[in-house]
Amino acid sequence: MPLVTSTEMFKKVYGKCAVGAFNVNNMEIIQGIVDAAKEENAPLILQVSAGARKYARHIYLMKLVEAAVEDTGLPICLHLDHGEDFEICKACVDGGFTSVMIDGSKLPFAENIAVTKKVVEYAHAKGVVVEAELGRLAGIEDAVNVRAKDSSYTDPEQAGEFVHQTGCDSLAIAIGTSHGAYKFKGEAKLDFARLEEITALLPGFPLVLHGASTVLPDFVAKCNQYGGELKGAQGVPEELLRKAGTMGVCKINIDTDLRLAMTASIREYLAVNPADFDPRQYLKPAREAIKNMVKHKISNVLNCSNQI
């Protein structure tokens, strides 16, 4: 089976649960994720940020993901995460991705519409689907740190107009999640009333939740036990994500939880085996840690096991 778009995946899960979109940067991360999805018989979106593309290089990620498709036989969608302009979206469409995100969320409404429309026109002509974003999440993405005061929740009326004007295939919304390991200072909550309004105005249309890592305390504790300094880390509680998956959110983005799982494992291995310097010895358990984390997400949080 070749790479697929997310269209059929979203149709299948709409209103029931969400597909996991996991960020990938290297072979071990890709293998850990696809091995988990294979065991869970789950649909899968592998996403590549601009930073990941620069780090690993487009062609290497492309070939690794093609290998994953061949190896597992799973329907896998390869997605550009947070494309900041038309050029990077075009490069990924031309370079074999089946889905791209144009993130015009920092632009004024009309400019966000204009750039999204341009990407939609180009991508659709080549059979590639487009995710757009309206509203602004707080937190850290790549080199951009959006402060809480500069973030803004998605306006439901604007969301309806945006989708109709741009023809985008899915929309990332801001309802209280944020990127990175420090999402909430006090109580963790999402604006479900706003989500309900958006869904009512866009019935059947796939919504996307970014910044959806849970920042599980065990992994933070393990990182800290072996020399890390993650103080006050807090993510989105799992029950809130499960609920969002039944309310029109079809894609849930997870990166930070994979980073924490991998780093906790490597820190522990090297602390316990200080004389070891063979990368395979610490990357093998790290890959297993990614796999276990993704299995947990698929079966207990996203609820998308056997949704192929």
Alpha helix (H) ranges present in the chain?
7-13, 27-40, 50-56, 58-72, 86-94, 109-125, 156-166, 192-201, 217-225, 238-245, 256-272, 279-296
Handedness of CA 90, 91, 92, 98 (dihedral sign): positive
Q: How many residues sit close enough to ligand 13P to count as binding (CB under 6 A)?
A: 14
Q: Least separation, in Å, of the C-beta of 292 and ligand 13P?
A: 17
Per partner kind, with CB cut-offs from 5 to 8 A, the member of Zn ion, ligand 13P, ligand G3H, none near residue 176 is none
CB 52, min distance to ligand G3H, A: 5
Contact status: 194 vs Zn ion (CB under 5 A) = no
Catalytic residue set: 81
CB contact at 8 A, 176 and 211: no
Q: Per CB under 6 A, does 61 bind ligand 13P?
A: no
Q: What are phi and psi of 90, to 5 degrees?
A: -60, -45
The two three-digit tokens of residue 273, written as one number: 């085996």
Contact positions vs ligand G3H (CB under 6 A) = 23, 49, 51-52, 81-82, 141-142, 179, 255
Residue 103 interacts with which of Zn ion, ligand G3H, ligand 13P, none, CB < 5 to 8 Å by class: none
Secondary structure class of 90 (helix, strand, coil): helix
- Chain centroid offset of residue 59 CA: 21
Nearer to ligand 13P, 186 or 274 (CB): 186
CB of 22 to ligand 13P, least distance (A): 9
Quick one: which of 210, 251, 291, 297 contacts Zn ion (CB under 5 A)?
210
Strand ranges across the sheet with 138-141: 144-146, 138-141, 178-179
Q: Which is nearer to ligand G3H, 103 or 155 (CB)?
A: 103
Site residues (vs Zn ion, CB under 5 A): 210
